[in-house]
Amino acid sequence: MNRVEIYKLWKEKQSHKALDFFLDENNQIPESDQIAYLHTMSIGGSMDASLLGLSKWRSINDLYDSFFNFQKSEGKFVFDRGHVFEQFVAEQFEKVTHKKVCDGITVDGTKYKAPWSFAQIDRTLEDGTPLEIKVATFNSEDEDGKEWGTGCKFNEHGDVLITDDCIPKAYYCQCQKQMWLTGKQEMFLACWLTSEVHIRIYLIKRNDELIQMIRDAEEDFLFNHVIPAIPYENEGALVDEYEEDAVFGDEDALSYVDELQEINAYLSQLKKRKDEIVSILKNKLGEHEVCVDKDGKKLYSLTRFLTHRFDVDGLLNDHPEMKYYYRKIPSERLNVCKKKVD
């Protein structure tokens, strides 16, 4: 029995288990759970990064567990936001590239004798070239520097002048999966960093070496682990190896930590830029206190003042017989690691 036949037999049993979990009172799978249902029987493009150890969100063991412990889709803000803005980003892509964007498609690997493999493609061009769309809040850094490059440069006719394929590793892996299943040699990824007033567009070329790694990893995952129900050996430090009282972080915790790291980094950059602007504006005032526009309306002003603070050290120097004790008040502080979770 070949692997395709083995997969079909397993999928039939797996689908019954999944249906029991996902069917609602009307004996239907809710639209919001359609993709979660597919992910119990097939390997989607977003899963491959976990298989290759490139995902900061989910380990290979987490992925393995998802095939046995089903979970319904959760309405997460970042996912909903990305879905809502897909059309907006697609329209911006059309304006820059002058390429017509069509509806998205779902493709699988049946013709490559890999029916367990599939990919959802957000949009396509008229010739079937995939267009992946992302919405991100911040250009964070990994060990190689910024995750997002500056993007391709286009002339006013939509011709590519300078190419750029610097995107997060997990998304690069996802793009390779789409090019494999569509047979394309290149594709585009359009990203809107919400702090910017333009989108960044990347031209991704096909990488057959990585595609083969994806295919090998999927087959090993499915036929050597999921179907025979053989989990991967647990990697990484155990909770009891920590001196502190510790708990394993789930996918939600990792997501929130990552978002908080991005916010902290963004605030740090904003604070730095704010200080630079304040310094510039102060220098422009010179010895004056107010800056006005051509109509005499005040733009900004500088108020100079002295503050008075209680001199505890001076008091104790003059009256050493007096003793002061600090009252200990319970408080908490959340300490987030500066580097991203790998």
pLDDT tens digit string along 153-164?
A: 999 999 999 999
Residue 7 has pLDDT above 70, yes or no: yes
Q: How many CB atoms lie within 10 A of CB 75?
A: 7
> Domain 3-231 is of which CATH architecture?
Alpha-Beta Complex (3.90)
Q: Is the pLDDT of residue 241 over 50?
A: no
Q: CA–CA separation, 117 vs 47, rounded Å?
A: 10
Average pLDDT in the 11-40 region? 91
On the question of pLDDT at 238 being above 70, the answer is: no
Q: How many Cβ atoms from other residues are within 10 Å of residue 97's Cβ?
A: 21
CA dihedral 233, 239, 240, 246 (to 10 degrees): -170
Residues 118-132: tens digit of each pLDDT: 999 999 999 999 999
Q: What is the DSSP letter of 43?
A: B
Contacts of 210 (CB under 8 A, 6+ apart): 172, 173, 176
Rg (CA), the chain: 27
Of 75-84, 179-188, 294-303, minimum mean pLDDT range: 75-84
End-to-end CA distance of the chain: 39
Parts of the chain belonging to CATH 3.90.320.10: 3-231
CB atoms within 10 A of CB 95: 9
Given this model, what pLDDT does residue 236 score?
A: 44
What does the DSSP assignment read for 51-89?
A: HTT--SS--HHHHHHHTTS-------HHHHHHHHTHHHH
Which ranges constitute the DSSP H helices of 197-239? 208-221
Tokens 């408080």 -> residue: 331
pLDDT band at residue 250 using 50, 70 and 90 as cut-offs: low
**pLDDT bracket for residue 146 (50, 70, 90):** confident
Q: What is the pLDDT of residue 239?
A: 41
The overall longest dimension of the chain from CA atoms, in Å, is 93
Q: How confident is the model at residue 244 (pLDDT cuts 50, 70, 90)?
A: low
The more confident residue out of 306 and 27 is 27
Binned at pLDDT 50, 70 and 90, residue 185 comes out as very high
Q: Are strands 186-193 and 130-136 parallel, antiparallel or unpaired?
A: parallel
Q: How confident is the model at residue 338 (pLDDT cuts 50, 70, 90)?
A: low
Give CA–CA dist 263/269, Å, rounded: 10
Q: What is the pTM of this model?
A: 0.70
As a whole number, the mean pLDDT across the chain is 86
